[in-house]
Structure 1
Amino acid sequence: MSASPHTHIQTFGAGPSLALALHCTLAHSGAWRSLGAALSNCLTLHAIDLPGHGQSADWDARRDFHDQCTQAATAQLTAPMHVIGHSFGATIALRLAVTQPHRVRSLTLIEPVFFAAAMADAPARMHAHEREAQPYFDALAEGDHRRAARLFNQFWGDGTRWDDMSARNQTYLSDRVHLVAAQTSAIVEDHAGLMAPGALGRASMPSLLIQGDQTADIIDATHESLARRLPNARRAWIAGAGHMSPLTHPDEVARAIRSLVKMAEE
């Protein structure tokens, strides 16, 4: 597998099966290091830096952000692979499973922020989430990216307090926090049409929806909706985990993925 000039890739593990890993917003490919180690005897994990993240090229703001991320991921899907996505990365993984089902051996979605699914089946829960998220969008509208990043991390982070982060990490998040708003057309408005009748039915490969049992209600609503529509999906809960289970509970997440991979390859 070769990287394009604009997409940085890290490889973790040396297992017999290939996997593509897509990280969450404001992270980078290194976020998969612990999970990759936990899966090292099962998978060779190719993790990319999505556009605007890590060492990959910046997002071209003239193009839709989700479209550009999907294009970068598709370029690495050169053979049938197990696809693993977390949060925003999971929304790209879901899109790959719908548009490239012949190249996706199994699909692992770890807390996908595909809120269009929640809106379809649980609009009250979606509106409650929008009220929770409003302070972030207010800060962004006011141009206070540092406050927006702090609020975003407080809701979606791994529990690390903002003041306990290094200045470098604070800057990394603040410089990229505008990318959250750039996702709206895909994850809320569903411009790719994943919720169109029959679309998710094309993702018939073995699938797994993983969430922490301490995560936000909007994730549970999203999983409930997706589980109704994905033909071969099951759900798993990680005890004691929140949104960032691949980082905080890699062994437990790896156990669930390993079971899915075994099922897909039997």
Structure 2
Amino acid sequence: MKKPGTHYVTSPDGVTIGATVHGRGRPLVFLHGGIGDGDLDWNRLLEHLTGRFTCHLPSMRGRGLSGDHPDLGPGRQVDDVLAYLGGIEGPAGLVGWSAGANLALVAAARSGAVDAVVAVEPPMRGLMDEREQAVIGEAVARMGELAAAGDLGAAVRAFAGGPFTAGEMAVAEDAGYFEAASRYVPHLLTMLRQVGAYRGPTAEGPAVLGAISAPVLVVHGSATMPFYRAGARHVAGHVPRARVRELPGAGHASPLTHPEALARTIAEFFAAESPIHLRD
């Protein structure tokens, strides 16, 4: 695989957003989930994609190659995505996992620089039932307790134990994912508090989804929590050009556990969709 490069842009509030860049071909920008960073979440897919696509792996503010800032709210994070897209020549595809999928959808609603979107298990909090709310709420609370006690490794494992299956936890553990991501726990706790307080437009809003003109593929695992499947149907029901794909055998952590199958799904989708040569 070609030696990776780097790419940096400056967000409107002055934060540097940095990414590693791999491969050649049509540009795809990958937005990571809440736990890790661009490289941790997506590096397993690269060998299956870099022969056909230029893969940009930016990290959200406070992670990876990016600078930090106290404002970690969804609005600022979408601004970061749009700034990154503005620094790429021509339109690009967006791929987002979990929290990154929500950012990808909102960014696509705001920008003609997005020619297609793959959203992997976007979390729609409003679609959780009481049991799911309790599971995720307990995971967040336990993460906070363990972080306060200084055990960041146990804290990140506690949080992941909410959406991840036991098998996914084992795969992530063996890959060193939790050890590498543990340093982001304080950042994640701050981000979750700000997400909870945010009252601006979100990916759950029908008006936001309805404003997306680009084609969208929503991917969920066959073994995931029900609200992720409900979120996929919600997106497909409101985005004019959206469809849903189930990934057999996968749970929430498909970029870690099913990288080849997910990469194949991504490649097939972008190969089938013609770029929209528009830019804001």
TM-score in same-fold range (> 0.5): yes
Aligned residues, how many?
253
**For residues 48 and 250 of structure 1, what CA distance do their matches in structure 2 show?**
18
Given the alignment, which residue of 54, 74, 80 partners 2:82? 74
Q: Cα offset for 1:9?
A: 0.6
Shift in alpha-carbon separation, 1:140–1:234, aligned structure 2, 3 A: same
Given the alignment, which residue of 20, 28, 31 partners 1:10? 20
Q: Is the contact made by 2:171 and 2:257 (CA closer than 8 Å) also made in structure 1?
A: no
Shift in alpha-carbon separation, 1:136–1:167, aligned structure 2, 3 A: closer
**For residues 235 and 166 of structure 1, what CA distance do their matches in structure 2 show?**
28
SS in 1 for 2:170: coil
Q: TM-score, normalised by structure 2?
A: 0.79
Q: Cα offset for 1:197?
A: 4.9
1:65 aligns with 2:68: no
Written as runs of structure 1 = structure 2, the 5 A alignment for 1:186-201 is: 191-201=200-210
Q: Cα offset for 1:80?
A: 1.1
| AA aligned opposite 2:242 | A
Written as runs of structure 1 = structure 2, the 5 A alignment for 1:1-266 is: 2-4=7-9, 6-15=16-25, 17-30=26-39, 31-58=41-68, 60-61=69-70, 63-78=71-86, 79-100=90-111, 102-116=112-126, 118=127, 125-139=128-142, 142=145, 143-144=148-149, 146=152, 147-157=154-164, 158-160=168-170, 168-169=179-180, 171-179=182-190, 181-182=192-193, 184-185=195-196, 191-265=200-274
| Identity %, equivalent residues | 23
Which sections of structure 2, spanning at least 5 residues, go unmatched?
1-5, 11-15, 276-280
**For residues 56 and 183 of structure 1, what CA distance do their matches in structure 2 show?**
19
RMSD of aligned alpha carbons = 2.7
Deviates more, 1:163-172 or 1:255-264: 163-172
**For residues 269 and 50 of structure 2, what CA distance do their matches in structure 1 show?**
15
| AA aligned opposite 1:155 | G
SS in 1 for 2:214: coil
Q: TM-score, normalised by structure 1?
A: 0.83
Deviates more, 1:174-183 or 1:64-73: 174-183
Q: Cα offset for 1:247?
A: 2.2
